[in-house]
Structure 1
């Protein structure tokens, strides 16, 4: 993957952190690429478990424009692993980490009990945050800002008393769809009361009355996914069951609420 480090250096870095006294370490794993066999992936997971990190973030390999992998994909020298293979590797990840005592609390996130990432969790529950430095993002609950990405431009601007940034304000639809997307990433899922409140705000009427085609379509899609077992409802939340989390992108897109026009 054209990384500047190898597995030996990663293991060395982890050991150095432990020797330095760090007692809360997170590591990243990547799966879902063509040269990774199931047995190799199993060994990677087992090695990670032996290290006993407090947290793991585990991602399916994505193909991003501008990267060497993207160029290889475009010229036909790289073929992505089919979704069936990636799904199988994801299921193995869930199984082995569960057996080792890790808790899955989000699509890509696993931790020892009680050690969820407070930083990442703030994004998923709409906690306001400040970002400092080039490209850093901030969120105040209703809008976002992001600083200039060039470090020289960023430093020069501050030297002139100018803060270079761009911003956006979330519409009611933006907020609703981001709530659907971010909360369904978590194992806890969407809080039904908050979903109802956001739908009320968006439609300007009661969720239960289905007064707009957009809300009616949302409710119909939600009912269908629940009936098919792709979603699960508790008295307080609507969730993607752990065995369906690999399908999360498709399920979330199905629930996005259309514009009122």
Structure 2
């Protein structure tokens, strides 16, 4: 069975770092949900309608509110889904909303905590305050939703190792099952990037950011979290099943503006414009553009996605799927990284070492075939 991703692009406000497609045009949310339901019907032939995982992401899905979320879930068959996740902003989650989520097929909630420092939350233009995260976690647990994930962010301008250590301790104290942590990125086109160009902020020193990454790894592993993907940590048995399907090449369908889909050979992406997306779907036209992946592109995807994970790259699978020539290319390109200790080959698998994790993008790009 495939996974289903549903993109909800609406946000009450835009965070300074966000490079995802989002909008503050909440007035279009009703038509958008109708369009999502129509797109699902238009794409019935692509799957059997049964989903292994369902992920409602954004944007901020919790801004839709109970009525529209209930309407959306009425057309999604979650009966076979092992995991049904929805992303929420912490300040959207009170006891009433948590109780509503528990009435849906939702069994996992992901929240963007980012930091437990209120000044940094204001800098990011986040809506919530640090205390809202613990309150939201309590509300969800009281409603019977125990599988909770929080996102953290490190590498703020002028952030110290002590600051980051405090955030890590606060996240651990929540007792949540899953933690994702990302370095603050200055993506072109975001307000944060403009601030950098104007000299209003300065990127944190690379060595400090590196030390923060390893501090996170050491403290979370000591607290019982498995470091199962470059940026993701989970209690035993609580890995994100949906995201893991991306990294292992499982097919998925993406609904909504800017959503992507993949069937193993063809990648599709929907138009990243709310009005165009809605207008096309209302006319019965699928708003997607297909891309038939070449052998090299499928090989590159496997290298990039597999090496992100704890299990690493299955070398026998590389040979069987892409032939001895590409397997030999992979082994040859990796030799210097194995010798320098950034990669290790064990039991037929190639994986990043502790030293290789932080420079994973560099290592993976050099193993790709252009």
TM-score (norm 1): 0.89
- Retained in 1: the 8 A contact 2:260–2:269? yes
Q: Which runs of 5+ in 1 are unaligned?
A: none
Trace 1:1-261 onto structure 2 (pairs within 5 A).
1-200=124-323, 206=325, 215=329, 218-258=330-370
Structure with greater strand share of residues: 2
| Corresponding residue SS for 1:26 | strand
Do the aligned partners of 1:187 and 1:241 also contact (CA within 8 Å) in 2?
Answer: no
Question: Equivalents in 2 of 1:108, 1:43: separation in Å?
Answer: 18
Alpha carbons of 1:163 and 1:109: their partners in 2 closer, same or farther (altered >3 Å)?
Answer: same
Compare 20-29 and 4-13 and name the one that shifted more.
4-13
1:131 partner SS: strand
Contact 2:154 2:182 in 1 (8 A): yes
Mean Cα displacement is larger for which, 5-14 or 93-102?
5-14
1:91/1:243 contact within 8 Å kept: no
In structure 1, how many angstroms separate the alpha carbons of the residues matched to 2:127 and 2:311?
36
Q: 2: distance between equivalents of 1:84 and 1:235?
A: 33
Which secondary structure does the structure 1 equivalent of 2:199 belong to?
coil
8 Å CA contact retained: 1:49, 1:100? yes
Aligned-partner Cα distance in 2 for 1:227–1:169: 36
State whether residues 156 and 184 of structure 2, in contact with CA within 8 Å, keep that contact through their aligned partners in structure 1: yes
- Show CA shifts across 1:199-235 (max 9, x none): 41xxxx6557x6xxxx3xx443311111111101112
8 A Cα contact 2:300 2:368, kept in partner:
yes
Say if 2:154 and 2:183, in contact at 8 Å, map to a contact too: yes
Deviates more, 1:101-110 or 1:139-148: 139-148
Q: Distance in 1 between matches of 2:145 and 2:152?
A: 20
C-alpha offsets along residues 34-93 of structure 1, whole Å, 9 cap, x if unaligned? Answer: 232111111111111110111111101111122221111101121111221111001110
Superposition RMSD in Å: 1.7
CA-to-aligned-CA distance 1:93-129 (integer Å, 9 cap, x gap): 0111111111010000100011110110111111001
Secondary structure of 2:289's aligned partner = strand
Q: How many pairs were matched up?
A: 247
Instruction: Give me the whole-angstrom Cα distance separating, in 1, the residues matched to 2:250 and 2:151.
Output: 24
Partners of 2:137 and 2:339 in 1: CA distance: 45
SS, match of residue 166 in structure 1: strand
CA drift of 1:198 comes to: 4.0
How big is each residue's C-alpha offset from its partner over 1:128-177, in whole Å with a ceiling of 9 and x where there is no partner? 01112222211100011122233333333222222221111111110111
38-47 or 235-244, larger mean C-alpha shift: 235-244
What residue ranges of structure 2 are gaps of 5+ in the alignment?
Answer: 1-123
CA distance in 1, matches of 2:222, 2:365: 31
TM-score, normalised with respect to structure 2: 0.64
SS in 2 for 1:185: coil
Structure with the larger RCO, 1 or 2 (CA within 8 Å, 6+ apart): 2
